[in-house]
Amino acid sequence: MNALPLARDFPFARLAGMGRWAADCLRQEAATYPKPGLVSHVDNGAHRDMDFALLARSAKALEPYFGGLAQAGAAGAGLDRLRAIGIEAERAMLAATRGVNTHRGAIFGLGLLCAAAGFRHAYGIAMPLGRIIAERWGEAILAGPVPLRSHGTEVARRHGVGGARMEAARGLPSVYEIAVPALREGRAATSEEEAARVQACMALIADVADTNILHRGGTSGLAFAQGEARAFLATGGVGETGWRIRAVRIHQAFVARNLSPGGCADLLAMALFVDREEA
């Protein structure tokens, strides 16, 4: 994608507010219950090393970096500059959490969305954020360095799944084709925003080959997780009476099997961002 002429006197400082919104998307994701196996304001899910307070602290630490990524996108930055800001954000996260990886995947996905949103605002492009990511940075994302020791990279190689890099390079199809529609379906079925977020989370678990689940439970764990989520959706999801009781039981079953769909949690936060930016 060729950069268009930048709007004269574009107010870059205004994009700092986008960082607050991105961080709030992380807080909304954390404040959603029941999400199978995941940390919430109610319990720690299948995690022993993190809780809701830690996630909130991590989100706060990342806020200025998300704003910085939006400003970099508005300035027409390439992926190398975005990656440098992302590395700084990861250091801030680890300092705030005393070494716990709370939001590494979200730094990547939400960070790209912030950069794309900044680019779109600066150049007045009427295009979905996912498409901007794919067209502006997609090739560089796939050609860039691969973190050889990460669980996501190892699992993607072992099981032949695309992972976060492929998702981003393709324009975030899981966000646009699964999560955002499910979020809006959930709102149509109930007046509760939290319930709509649960619906979106279940839809993601049902269809995404989450590398966190594969890391913890292998292919049998993924099959179990997807089966439970699909059954929940097939019986009406959050539009069915008693949905919360069923969702809690699924959550408890995930915890018992030590399954946590962390990739889906990141995608849920990203869907919240897209839903607001493209409403």
Provide the token pair at 151: 């669980």
Distance CA(211)–CA(111), nearest Å, equals 20
The pLDDT of residue 15 is 81
124 CB burial (10 A radius; 0-12, 13-18, 19+): exposed
The pLDDT of residue 162 is 63
Higher-confidence residue: 78 or 17?
A: 78
The pLDDT of residue 159 is 47
Going from the C-alpha of 145 to that of each of 65, 97, 149, 258, 266, the distances in angstroms are 21, 25, 12, 30, 21
Model confidence band, residue 101 (pLDDT cutoffs 50, 70, 90): very high
148-193 pLDDT tens trace: 455 555 655 564 556 889 999 999 999 999 999 999 999 999 989 9
Distance CA(45)–CA(247), nearest Å, equals 13
Average pLDDT over residues 108-117: 97
The pLDDT of residue 156 is 56
Provide the token pair at 167: 């998702």
214-240 pLDDT tens trace: 999 999 999 999 999 999 999 999 999
Model confidence band, residue 145 (pLDDT cutoffs 50, 70, 90): confident
pTM exceeds cut of 0.85: yes
Give 160's contacts (C-beta < 8 A, 6+ positions apart): none
> In the predicted model, what is the mean pLDDT of the chain?
91
The pLDDT of residue 279 is 75
Distance CA(204)–CA(194), nearest Å, equals 15
The pLDDT of residue 40 is 97
Higher-confidence residue: 228 or 15?
A: 228
The pLDDT of residue 90 is 97
Using DSSP, how many helices (H) and how many strands (E) does the chain show? 13, 0
Percent of the chain with pLDDT over 70: 89
The DSSP code for 90 is H
The pLDDT of residue 148 is 45
The pLDDT of residue 125 is 87
State the residue for tokens 């999801």: 237
**Residue 24 above 80 pLDDT?**
yes
Going from the C-alpha of 21 to that of each of 62, 270, 274, the distances in angstroms are 11, 11, 11
Average pLDDT over residues 17-38: 96
